[in-house]
Amino acid sequence: MSGGPGPRVPGLRGRLRRFRPRTRPRYKGPSFNRLVPNILTMLGLCAGLTGIRVALDEQWEKAAVLIVVAGAIDGLDGRLARLLKGTSRFGAEFDSLSDFLCFGVAPALILYMWTLHDARGIGFAPCLLFAVCSALRLARFNASIVDAPSLPLTGPPPKPAYAQNFFTGVPAPAGAGLALCPMFAALAFAGWDMPGMAAAMRHPAVSGVLLVVVGALMVSTLPTWSFKNFKVPAELVLPLLLGIGAYVAVLLTEPWAALAGAGFLYAGMLFFSVRSYTRLKREAEAMLEPVVVSGGDKGGNP
């Protein structure tokens, strides 16, 4: 009586297949590094939304801090995207939508709940104007992005070389910081036990006028420094580092005064930004002017 077939002995190819390293399955899609900038943008968006939420509970300090945090995140996500080579049209659109909420809607609503509601219906008009100006400013920025070389008519023509270091109008994060300067100053005066000055900064007229002015600056064609490729002279490096260290010390000890001072300092720099842009434009135009060589008389004498 013959038994069934015995166990199958694997051949040499089967033995080698056991020791072959397994290959990882490859998935289509972007790497995690390229998603980090979008994650930061989402965190900034959440900070802006949470700022509105805490303002409903009249927690003004937390609301102001969250808008500042959103501004810091906005300054990092774009640079990180360029560093990680993760720039995309989706990221640009997402960043613009986040900027509109964090720096257009949130500051206006916070200021309305903080002081402008005392002016009744007219107090909402500056908030509405500020949000509209922020949306227009961001829409103009998006329209200036050229998506591909095959679309040469997308947006305005590229900027000349002398204008590469300048924004057109005040950017949205800086506009939000300028708009919140009365709140920063009022919180600083309240901490210094100066209720009169704090009440003056909290007057609806101060925030209302400032919202209108800052909104106009955002949609204007005013050239403002972008600080992206800003070069510091060698002799000014040490004083600049000392100044930054002094500001950080003030920021840690008197944060509201430091934030209000930063807003006033930025507002004062707008004049020098315009003057620098005008000087660079004049020099560039002078280099493009044709050189007219005056000829001598008919005899060739000078």
Tens-digit pLDDT profile for residues 102-145? 999 999 999 999 999 988 889 999 999 999 999 999 888 888 76
Concatenate the DSSP letters of all residues of 259-281 into one string.
HHHHHHHHHHHHHHHHHHHHHHH
Question: Would you state the pLDDT for residue 26?
Answer: 65
pLDDT over 70 at 221, yes or no: yes
Distance separating alpha carbons of residues 77 and 40, to the nearest angstrom: 6
pLDDT digits (tens, 9 = 90+) for 280-293: 888 877 777 664 44
Beta strands in 44-112 (DSSP E): none
Question: Would you state the pLDDT for residue 189?
Answer: 94
pLDDT over 70 at 148, yes or no: no
pLDDT digits (tens, 9 = 90+) for 45-92: 999 999 999 999 999 999 999 999 999 998 888 888 888 777 788 888
> What are the tokens at 242?
């000392």
CA-nearest of 80, 79, 43, 69 to 227 is 79
Distance separating alpha carbons of residues 91 and 80, to the nearest angstrom: 12
Burial (0-12, 13-18, 19+ Cβ within 10 Å), 250: middle
Distance separating alpha carbons of residues 222 and 29, to the nearest angstrom: 41
pLDDT over 60 at 178, yes or no: yes
**CA dist list (Å): 6 to 3, 9, 12, 18, 80:** 8, 9, 18, 21, 64
The model scores a pTM over 0.85: no
DSSP annotation of 293: P
Distance separating alpha carbons of residues 171 and 162, to the nearest angstrom: 19
> What are the tokens at 44?
């900034």
